[in-house]
C-alpha cells in the first residue's frame, strides 16, 4: 500500500497543485496572489517569533488563525495545518510547541519556494 502522506523533495506539498491552478481561469491572478504571499509570509514569521519571545499566547493564536485562513485559500495544506497547530498552541499557551511549529513553517515555506523555482513557476504556460 502506497503511503500517500509521505512526501519527497520531488513532490509538491500536499494540496499545492491547487495553488498552481488559475484563479477564475486567470494565471496572472494566481501568480499575483502567490507573489504577495511570498512577500508577506516572512513578516508573519517574524511576528510569530516576536509573540513567542514575548510569551504572548494570544498573539501566537491570532497569527496561527490568520495563517490558517490565507494558506487554506491558496490551497497550501501543509502551511494551513501548521497554522491550525500554531493557533491551538497559542490558545493553550504551549509556546515551546509554537517554537517547533515556527521551525516547521520556515522549512515548508522554503520548500514551497524551491518547488516553485524548480517547476519554473511564474513562466508563461503554453497555450
Instruction: Give tens-digit pLDDT for 23-44.
Output: 565 667 777 777 888 889 999 9
Domain ranges of the chain: 16-117
For the cut 70, the answer to whether the pLDDT of residue 16 exceeds it is: no
Instruction: Give tens-digit pLDDT for 86-102.
Output: 999 999 999 999 999 99
For the domain 16-117, what is the CATH code? 1.20.120.160
Grid cell in block for residue 5: 502522506
The residues, ordered by sequence, that sit 6+ positions from 9 with a Cβ below 8 Å of its Cβ are: 111
* Stronger pLDDT, 120 or 12, i.e. the higher one: 120
CA distance linking residue 82 with residue 68, whole number of Å: 7
Average pLDDT over residues 59-66: 96
Mean of pLDDT over the chain:
79
pTM over 0.75: no
DSSP state string for the chain? ---TT---TTSPPTTHHHHTS-BTTBHHHHHHHHHHHHHHHHHHHHHHHHHHHTT-HHHHHHHHHHHHHHHHHHT-HHHHHHHHHHHHHHHTT-HHHHHHHHHHHHHHHHHHHHHHHHTTTTSPPP-
Q: How many CB atoms lie within 10 A of CB 67?
A: 25
Calculate ∠ Cα 93-98-104, nearest 5°: 165
Average pLDDT over residues 41-52: 95
Amino acid at each position: 500500500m502506497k503511503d500517500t502522506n509521505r512526501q519527497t523533495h520531488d513532490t509538491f506539498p500536499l494540496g499545492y497543485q491547487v495553488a498552481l491552478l488559475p484563479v477564475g481561469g486567470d494565471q496572472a491572478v494566481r501568480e499575483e496572489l502567490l507573489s504577495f504571499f511570498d512577500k508577506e509570509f516572512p513578516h508573519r514569521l517574524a511576528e510569530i517569533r516576536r509573540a513567542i519571545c514575548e510569551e504572548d499566547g494570544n498573539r501566537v493564536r491570532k497569527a496561527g488563525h490568520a495563517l490558517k485562513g490565507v494558506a487554506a485559500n491558496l490551497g497550501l495544506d501543509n502551511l494551513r495545518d501548521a497554522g491550525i497547530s500554531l493557533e491551538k498552541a497559542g490558545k493553550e499557551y504551549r509556546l515551546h510547541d509554537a517554537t517547533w511549529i515556527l521551525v516547521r513553517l520556515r522549512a515548508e515555506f522554503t520548500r514551497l519556494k524551491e518547488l516553485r523555482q524548480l517547476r519554473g513557476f511564474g513562466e508563461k504556460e503554453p497555450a
